[in-house]
Structures are given as structure tokens and as C-alpha cells.
Amino acid sequence: MAQSTRERYRVDPVRTRRRAWPFPLNIYQSAVGRKWVMALTGIGLVGFALIHMVGNLHVYEGPARMYEYAETLRTLGGGLVPKSFVLWLMRLGLTGMFALHLHAAITLKDMSRHSSDNAGLMSGAKKYAGGRDHIAATYASRTMRWTGPIIALYLLFHLADLTWGWWLGPDFIRGDPYHNVATSLSSLPVAILYVVANAALALHIFHGAWSIFQSLGVNNPRYNHLRRGLAAGIAGLILIGNLSFPILTQTGLISEDNRACPINDSDGLVCLAEEAEGH
């Protein structure tokens, strides 16, 4: 019977399998393996987001401590390596993780789109006329492909804003992050942009951090009930920390009114260094 059914019904595959790449690249060829890569890079990116947020809390200790924190990042590795070497390694790693995460996201989404061809009344999206009430899918899980690109665009804006200083112009002082943050976030539109983008980030992490467990098969019925809470906790922590910066700048808590050191990239930085020493 199996024979005749096979002859009569054979649905054409939606995609053909390509020749296998050598191990371990072949893992990335499969969707399941690619989700592993998404999850592993996701762990790296969530870790980054968390550490980045915690590090930025130095801004509440004033310009000198913030200066010192930035300087610490540049001198990680101590005298063993050239200055900024470890920092550049981390940047390289982050860029690589971003690239992989993005590539996996785009290709997997594409795969799902093809698998849903003809699956909607309207072309493209899968949709039932009877209405789909999403029972289990959360708002966060359904918007991953929107929050993702929002984060990507925000990231570019954020780098141009506070790393490259593209539009702060002469107001941007390399090596004085407190000043740069206070200046940039004192603009209301910029502050709003940071709030919106970080809300997107938190949504992304809320689903992502839970999803990691499933994608990697980290599953133990004894602890599974903790996974949602953990994801919400991490997302919430990053959200609260990151939102505090634009909001408290707008309300005036982060400001340069009582600043001791001059604002420039010569004696200003020397003054900050000395103040940090004095602590």
C-alpha cells in the first residue's frame, strides 16, 4: 500500500536540498542548526545588552567615573596587549554575532514564507478567513521580525550618535561619554527614539530569551516553568536600565550643571582623569 500511495501522492518539496557542506558548516545548512546559531549568537547579544546596560549605570556616578569606565574598556587586558586590543576583539565578536544572527533570521523567515505559499487568502502572509486568534503566540513572538530590524536600525543610529559622533558635531567629545550622552539625550526627539527602540529591544529579548531554551533543547520539565519568568526578568532589567538614561536626562537628573571639569577634549579630559584618580 505504501508503494501505491507513494506513486499517487507526492507533493513537490518546497525546496531542494543542496550538497552538504563539510562538518561543522553542514549544521548551519539546516533550519534546526541555524536556529542553534541564532540562539547562541542571541545569548552573546543578550549578554552584551545586559553588560552594556550595567556598565552605563556609571553615568549616575558622574562624568569622572563615566570617563574612567570608558578608559577601563580601552585598557582591558592590561599591559599584556596593545591598548584597545581586547575592546576591538569584543567589537569584532559582536559584529560577527550580529551578522550571523541577522543572516539566520532573514533566511529562516524566507523559508517560512515559502512554506506558507498559497497558504493565505491573500498572497504572502498565512491567514485564515475565520480569523486567527493567537492562542499561545505572544505579541513579542509575533513581532520578532519587526523588533529585530528596529533594533538593527537603532543600533546604527546609536553608533553614529555616540560612537562616531556624526551629528553632535563639535559637541561630540571623544573620551567624554558623560557629556556626549547628556547632550544627545537632552534632545526630546532623540530621547523618544531611545525609548521606542529599547521597548522593541525588550520585546525581542522577552521572546528570544525564552526561545533560546527551546532552540537549544535546554529542556527539563523540572525547571521549565522558570523559563518565562527568567526571560521576562532579563528583558525587564535591560528595559528599566536602558529607559532610565533618556528619561532621567529629560527630567534633568543627568545634566552638566554641576560639572567641575571644562568640556573639551584637551584639559577637559585631563581634569576628568585627575578627578577619577582622586576618588
Partner 1 sequence: MSDTISVTVKVWRQNGPDSPGGFETHPQQISIDASFLEMLDLLNEQLNDRGEEPIVFESDCREGICGTCGVMINGRAHGPQKATATCQLHMREFADGDEIVIEPFRAAGFPVIRDLAVDRSPLDHIIESGGYISVGSGAAPDANLTPVPKDAAEQAFDAAACIGCGACVAACPNSAAQLFTSAKVGHMALLPQGQPERWSRTEAMVDVMETYFGSCTNHGECHEACPKEISLDFIAYLNRDYVRAKVKNRALSGQR
Residue 42's binding partner out of partner 1, ligand HEM, none, with CB under 5 to 8 Å set by partner kind:
ligand HEM
Q: What are the DSSP calls for the chain, one per residue?
A: -HHHHHHH--PPPSSPPPPPPSTTHHHHHSHHHHHHHHHHHHHHHHHHHHHHHHHHGGGGG-HHHHHHHHHHHHTTTGGGS-TTHHHHHHHHHHHHHHHHHHHHHHHHHHHHHHHTTT-BSSSSS-B-TT----SS--HHHHTHHHHHHHHHHHHHHHHHHHTS-TTTGGG--TT-HHHHHHHHHTSHHHHHHHHHHHHHHHHHHHHHHHHHHHHHT---TTTGGGHHHHHHHHHHHHHHHHHHHHHHHHTTSS-STT--S-SSSSHHHHHHHHHHHH-
**Binding of partner 1 at residue 189 (CB under 8 A)?**
no
Site residues, ligand HEM (CB under 6 A): 35, 38-39, 42, 45-46, 49, 98, 101-102, 105, 109, 141, 144-145, 148-149, 151-152, 204-205, 207-209, 211-212, 215
Q: Which of 4, 19, 32, 122 binds partner 1 (CB under 8 A)?
A: 32
Residue 136 interacts with which of ligand HEM, partner 1, none, CB < 5 to 8 Å by class: partner 1
| 242 is an interface residue for partner 1 by CB under 8 A | no
Picked from partner 1, ligand HEM, none, the partner binding residue 251 (CB below 5 to 8 A depending on kind) is none
**Residue 209 binding partner per list ligand HEM, partner 1, none, with a CB distance cut-off of 5 to 8 Å that depends on partner kind:** ligand HEM
CB of 127 to partner 1, least distance (A): 9
Residue (84 or 143) nearer to partner 1, CB: 143
Nearest to partner 1 of 123, 258 (CB atom): 123
Q: Which residues bind partner 1 (CB under 8 A)?
A: 2, 5-6, 9-11, 13-17, 23-24, 26-27, 30-36, 108-109, 111-120, 126, 128-138, 141-142, 144, 207, 210-211, 213-219, 221, 224
